[in-house]
Chains A and B, each alone.
Chain A
Amino acid sequence: MEKLLLVIIGILLLVIAALIIKVLSLRRSIDEIIKDFGDIIEKETNLQIRVSSSDPHIRRAAIRLNEELKKLREVSVIYSRGNNELKTAIMNISHDLRTPLTAINGYLDLLDNEDKSEDAGRYLSIIRERVEALKSLTEELFKYSVISSTKDDFKPEEIVLNSELETTLASFYGALVEKGIEPEIEICDSKVVRTLDRKSIQRIFSNIISNAIKYSEGDLKVTLDEEGTITFSNKASGLTPTEVGKLFNRFYTVESAHHSTGLGLSIAKLLSEKNGGIIEALLIEGSLVIRISFPA
């Protein structure tokens, strides 16, 4: 009798051991799947979830997830290929547009030297103006497509934001004086050093400053603090919050400006993000504040 009891207890212990092993193995499989899933979603990869267990439920879960991942991947590939093709097309077109425009300018010059009536002269200068506008639009378009499609010429180095900001402001001295703007500049004393691409930073600053000059009502405030946050503010009484929200959209221009393309700020946004920074536009008490921060 005792022997039988012992045997039964022995069998039960074995069963319990087997169940514990099964539970642990299922747990491990689930962890595996979660880990794989997380990895796959993060990267652009064709990989699918793989399982070590032969349990049919685990397999079915993995299969189902893989189906969805596959669809996601297909869409992603189509999108990025399409996007790239589009960018290349824009780059090529905007490049090709320069040639005829240069030719037009050339003939306009020739026309200038001819005898003409007053009206003709007037028409000529309007045409010239329009061609200039077209030329700068094409330039901006070309630069935009180049920036967003390649990573060449991107050389992060240690730069001092203080000096970069000062240099850029100095280069706009002439334009500021012309518009009668006396900028208020508050740059902190301590050097703010970040590892960024110098050309991008110069571009970002100049785009924002020239934008501010274009729309300014007479003031401009530039600050740089120790944490690496730069702000450009100017009064913008006609600006609504919605318009501020759209400022970084490509080709969005606020009505009241002429000589502008909408790309300056978009380029600034692209470049800021490329360098790991955050840029935002806010409307604070009737002033437009563009704030960029580059974390350490």
Chain B
Amino acid sequence: MDYVIEADRLCKNYGSRHRVLKEFDIHVPKGSIYGLIGKNGAGKTTFMRIICGVQPLTSGEFSLFGAKSSDTNAVRKARERISAVIESPSFYPHMSAKDNLIQQYTLLGIPSTEGIDELLELVGLLNTGKKKVKDFSLGMKQRLGIAMALAGSPDLIILDEPMNRLEPEGVVELRETILRLNKERDITFVISSHILNELSKIATDYGFIRDGKLIEEITARDLEAKLSSSSHRTLEDYFLDLMNR
């Protein structure tokens, strides 16, 4: 099995007291839509930050597209293939959506600005014209974040609770977009979410995280089998049970 992300006993401490990730192991298969499920503060966002290089890890190691975290140059090269929207989307508030995308293209060094209109259309922001991003609604900002994440033709996209701020149509659209991109471009997704219902519609694999540890990793098919053969009816029941065990 080709794994895009693998972590082995990953630990992250903020100061000596606050241990966020403890012996964290994870295996994200290539081409999957991996749902990372856990309570607030369980360590989902910290894990994403470490993979993206926004924060250093304390101990343990991970590998990204086969590049080990101990080999800084290889990991940096591997990070060219990932993009992420972590916590809130990042953009320049004083510029329009299109300008922001041009900015992102410049930052990454993409030679042509041709794909930008296509991207804007994909996320439904084509008609915003010169409107500055600081005047966007939360949902629009979220959509721009996803467009920016797509800008570099990534192989892996990490999304931190993307459905949070979207209106219902937005959620449906996002779901369709993720499925389409996963199928057409073989993009792996790692999505953390609270909205288990939405996640259960698209995820192919699940990772349940509690108190900084990944307590269970299971494919969607196996989970379905488990659910139908046990007393749990929905993903939520399963999750709640896991959390409270």
Contacts and interface: CB of A to CB of B under 8 A. Distances in A.
Q: Do chains A and B touch in the complex (CB under 8 A)?
A: yes
Interface of A: 39, 44-52, 58-60, 62-63, 66, 73, 77, 80-81, 150-152
Interface stretch (B35-43, B46-54, B160-168, B182-190): B182-190
B108 interface: yes
Contact of A151 (B1, B80, B153): B1
A38 to B, nearest CB: 13
Nearest to A80: B186
A50 B108 contact: yes
Contacts of B187: 46
B109 A46 contact: no
Given A77-B185, A81-B183, A152-B1, A47 B109 contact: no
Interface of B: 1, 77, 80-81, 108-112, 114, 152-155, 183-187
A24 B9 CA distance: 46
B108 A46 contact: no
Most buried by A among B1, B108, B153, B184: B153
Contact of B155 (A39, A47, A80): A47
24 contacts: A39-B77, A46-B81, A46-B153, A46-B154, A47-B81, A47-B153, A47-B155, A48-B110, A50-B108, A50-B109, A51-B109, A52-B109, A58-B111, A59-B111, A60-B111, A62-B111, A62-B112, A63-B111, A63-B112, A63-B114, A66-B111, A73-B185, A150-B1, A152-B1
Contacts of A81: 183, 186
Most buried by B among A46, A58, A62: A46
A58 to B, nearest CB: 8
A78 to B, nearest CB: 9
Contacts of B154: 46-47
Contacts of A49: 111
Contacts of B114: 63
Nearest to B183: A81
A73 to B, nearest CB: 8
Contacts of B185: 46, 73, 77
Given A77-B186, A81-B183, A45 B155 contact: yes
Contacts of B110: 48, 50
